[in-house]
Chain A
């Protein structure tokens, strides 16, 4: 269980307007979800990595949506299988990237009603 998982993250630095990739090697330990790996990277390895840290961990708030191996996924829910050793992460497609894995999302709840919500503003 002590194997390493390589996590490749597509990052964006808004202050220098630079896009680059970075690979982190994270010990698997008891981590099961993709989010667990992101938390580990932020807390123990690189606090400059930005992803939305205030989230519900229950697939409801949309704050953790990002592309996992090319597919849009909730990383708070997405399992990492024990034989998986590589994860590719990039910001959600079709949205303006603010920094690293953070995209410009409307506040939770506002993105359900569509037009009606926009008119009432």
Chain B
């Protein structure tokens, strides 16, 4: 199932950022049993913790000034409510986003619904860009927290919808009504999204099966 891509040290493609547990993808293949995340978070949590501590001890990595300034800029727009002159709250947009995902990107998926969802989400993103109102205040302000979450959620939803559209087969937890069968010929692949130069890029990579190949003799 989907998630943050990690290597055997739990490293992500962002230097210094580790992922472990349910947020990381690919450990259980196309589907996962409920409750398996418990073992996963223990095993990978230990690996991630050890590796992160090692990195810190070596002092091999530090955040550069450019990254700090870029994040500061992002925070400033959220904490200066005067700059955002909209009417709708971030909670409003999040509940609309959830509605779209629940309706169209649920257990049974098909092309038409996914394409509708793709269109609706990009419309929502446009609307959120100029029609977002953020409540001032620094104590227990969920509106500001949701403003952070909203744009990350939109990005993730776009990735999910695009991946579901790209994968024209049914595998594990992904079921397409228009492609109900497993297709090991064409889709023994991972679909990978990465941000490059501020844009979302998609590529596929073959899954390595060095020991047993699916469909072959046991």
Q: Footprint of B on A, CB under 8 Å?
A: 14-15, 42-44, 47-48, 50, 53, 98-100, 102
B89 within 8 A of A: yes
Known pairs A50-B140, A98-B139. 20 more at Cβ < 8 A? A14-B139, A14-B140, A15-B137, A15-B139, A42-B89, A42-B142, A43-B94, A43-B95, A44-B92, A47-B89, A47-B92, A47-B146, A48-B141, A48-B143, A50-B141, A53-B142, A98-B140, A99-B140, A100-B140, A102-B140
B104 within 8 A of A: no
Q: For chains A and B in complex, what number of residue pairs have CB atoms within 8 angstroms?
A: 37
Q: What 6 pairs between A and B have smallest CB-CB spacing?
A: A47-B89, A47-B143, A99-B140, A43-B91, A48-B135, A50-B140
Take A43-B89, A47-B89 as given contacts and tell me if A15 and B138 are in contact as well, using a CB distance cutoff of 8 Å.
Answer: yes
The complex places the Cα of A32 from the Cα of B142 at a distance, in Å, of 23
The complex places the Cα of A99 from the Cα of B135 at a distance, in Å, of 14
Residues of A within 8 A of B138 (CB): 15
Contact with A along B136-166 (1 / 0, CB 8 A): 0111111100100000000000000000000
Residues of A within 8 A of B137 (CB): 15, 48
Nearest CB of chain B from residue A119's CB, rounded to whole Å: 25
The complex places the Cα of A72 from the Cα of B95 at a distance, in Å, of 28
The complex places the Cα of A98 from the Cα of B137 at a distance, in Å, of 13
The complex places the Cα of A100 from the Cα of B94 at a distance, in Å, of 22
Q: Footprint of A on B, CB under 8 Å?
A: 89-92, 94-95, 133, 135, 137-143, 146
Nearest CB of chain B from residue A95's CB, rounded to whole Å: 14
Nearest CB of chain B from residue A50's CB, rounded to whole Å: 5
The complex places the Cα of A59 from the Cα of B3 at a distance, in Å, of 29
Write the chain B residue with the least CB distance to A45: B89
The complex places the Cα of A100 from the Cα of B135 at a distance, in Å, of 15
The complex places the Cα of A97 from the Cα of B111 at a distance, in Å, of 50
Question: Are the C-beta atoms of B140 and A47 separated by less than 8 Å?
Answer: no
The complex places the Cα of A2 from the Cα of B133 at a distance, in Å, of 29
Q: Select the residue from A14, A15, A43, A50 with max chain B CB neighbours within 10 A.
A: A43
Nearest CB of chain A from residue B32's CB, rounded to whole Å: 21
Nearest CB of chain B from residue A105's CB, rounded to whole Å: 12
The complex places the Cα of A53 from the Cα of B146 at a distance, in Å, of 10
The complex places the Cα of A14 from the Cα of B139 at a distance, in Å, of 7
Residues of A within 8 A of B140 (CB): 14, 50, 98-100, 102
Nearest CB of chain A from residue B132's CB, rounded to whole Å: 11
